[in-house]
Amino acid sequence: MQNRRTMIKNTVASAAAIGASALLPAFSKKLSEEKKLFSTLKGNINHSVCGWCYKGISLDELCKFSKSIGIKGIDLCGPKDWETLKKYGLDSPMCNGAELGLYNGFNDKKFHAKLVQQYSDMIPLVAKNGYTNLICFSGARRGISDEEGWKNCVEGLKQLLPLAEKHKVVLVMELLNSKIDHKDYQCDHTAWGVELCKRLGSENFKLLYDIYHMQIDEGDVIRTITDNHEYIAHYHTGGVPGRNEIDDTQELYYPAIMRAIAATGFKGYVAQEFVPKNPNKLTSLRRAIEICDI
């Protein structure tokens, strides 16, 4: 009887051990995934995020979450937001606040006086707060030819470059698509922006290469980045089509794009600028950082 009881006890113990061991792979996988989510990022990409994509989430909440997953900055912030960013130890990698919108830009002389005034005020303020990049826009064509647009932009921006150089601030013109989102915008192809960079001939004027926008208007993203990286100061992401999540629901493969950016020696920021469809927007942001952390 004693031997039988011992046998039964051992059998039950063995069965429990087998059951537990069967659960171990799933449990270990779960732990591994959790560890991955909160582990230190690889450091090959400096991650940022654009706050406007997260309506309903306060800047404080976005900053706190961003800091927790290794994001280093919040894009498209102006003076009113900088104290909040500093509270969380976050950078302002692409500052705004001097522009007259996307369509009233440097390609039209009638906006020069106001733009020069506002950028002259903002450039020292950006530098004083320890930041580097300040966004600007070409403006809409309104019948302006490429040549006239280049000449007008050069005329307007040259009035600001000595001040930008003095304060070590870079004026960064964003490339936007004119096919879907921003009809008639002039700086809608990388070649147009690069030509403007060449005419200005200053390290204090560069481009913001928005991957979403340029996929729509010209495609060939990796080759374009590789061939023109010296003129690019900053990158934005976004799923195509729709500007939603950058996962496998869209047509671009972001890990390869990130590897191409890193291969150029780029040390600036890549900012997530997609509008989450997932009701849990911060989960989508976390996933985007994982995708881009090559």
The arithmetic mean of pLDDT across residues 11-32, rounded, is 49
| Model confidence at 26: pLDDT above 90 | no
What's the token pair of residue 294? 């090559």
More confident: 198 or 33 = 198
Q: Are 253 and 261 in contact (CB under 8 A)?
A: no
Q: Are 226 and 264 in contact (CB under 8 A)?
A: yes
Phi–psi pair at 121, nearest 5 degrees: -75, -35
The arithmetic mean of pLDDT across residues 123-135, rounded, is 98
Q: Number of helices (H) and strands (E), helices first, in the chain?
A: 11, 7
CA distance readout (Å), 157 to 160, 176, 277 = 5, 19, 38
Neighbour tally for 244: CB within 10 Å:
19
DSSP designation for 231: G
Torsion of the alpha carbons at 177, 108, 118 and 80, rounded to the nearest 10: -20
Phi–psi pair at 39, nearest 5 degrees: -75, 165
CA 107 to chain centre: 25
Query: Does residue 221 sit in helix, strand or coil?
Result: helix
More confident: 82 or 31 = 82
pLDDT at 24: 53
| Model confidence at 163: pLDDT above 60 | yes
| Model confidence at 253: pLDDT above 70 | yes
Cα distance between the two ends of the chain: 63
The arithmetic mean of pLDDT across residues 159-172, rounded, is 98
Summarize pLDDT for 71-123 with one digit per residue, the tens.
999 999 999 999 999 999 999 999 999 999 999 999 999 999 999 999 999 99
Give every CB contact of residue 248 below 8 A, 6+ residues apart in sequence. Answer: none
Give the H or E element holding residue 36: helix 2-38
pLDDT at 7: 47
Confidence of residue 40 (pLDDT cuts 50, 70, 90): confident
Rounded to whole angstroms, the Cα distance separating 100 from 118 reads 9
Confidence of residue 215 (pLDDT cuts 50, 70, 90): very high
| Model confidence at 12: pLDDT above 90 | no
Query: Does residue 141 sit in helix, strand or coil?
Result: coil
- Provide the β-strand partners of residue 206: 172
- pLDDT averaged over every residue in the chain: 91
What's the token pair of residue 216? 């729509």
Starting from the edge strand earliest in sequence, which strands make up the sheet with 170-174, in order?
A: 73-75, 46-50, 269-272, 232-236, 205-210, 170-174, 133-136
Phi–psi pair at 205, nearest 5 degrees: -135, 125
Q: How much of the chain, in percent, has pLDDT values that exceed 90?
A: 86
Does the global pTM surpass 0.75? yes
Summarize pLDDT for 107-117 with one digit per residue, the tens.
999 999 999 99
pLDDT at 11: 45
- Provide the β-strand partners of residue 208: 174, 234
| Model confidence at 129: pLDDT above 80 | yes
More confident: 257 or 11 = 257
